Amino acid sequence: MGTEADQYEYVYRTAKKLITDYLRLREDELQPETHIVDDAGADSLALVELGFQISETFGVPIADTSGNKLVFKHLVQHIIDHMPQDGPGPHAPKGEH
């Protein structure tokens, strides 16, 4: 996929788009320190759906939504740390590989 910086940028941009689209946020409303529940307003159903979308897009299951994973920058790092070595999952948005 390229350098670690490229991978981080890809995951950051793609995850941000998934979350802002689903929660109907402006891009500037989701910052690295944003808590997806407390600050962005996601409820339990939204967390389940976002977890599913992240799993489908990146090949990384998000079964546990407790703790730091609900802060956007920690979620991005979790995805990077657990993403398959051969890149994102089979259902990544077209043009994002």
**pLDDT tens digit sequence for 1-42:** 578 889 999 999 999 999 999 999 999 999 999 999 999 999
Cα–Cα distance measured from residue 15 to residue 29, given in angstroms and rounded to the nearest whole number: 14
Domain ranges of the chain: 4-82
The CATH superfamily of 4-82 is ACP-like (1.10.1200.10)
Q: Mean pLDDT throughout 52-57?
A: 95
| Mean pLDDT along residues 37-65 | 92
d(Cα 84, Cα 80) in Å, to the nearest integer?
A: 9
Which of helix, strand or coil describes residue 55? helix
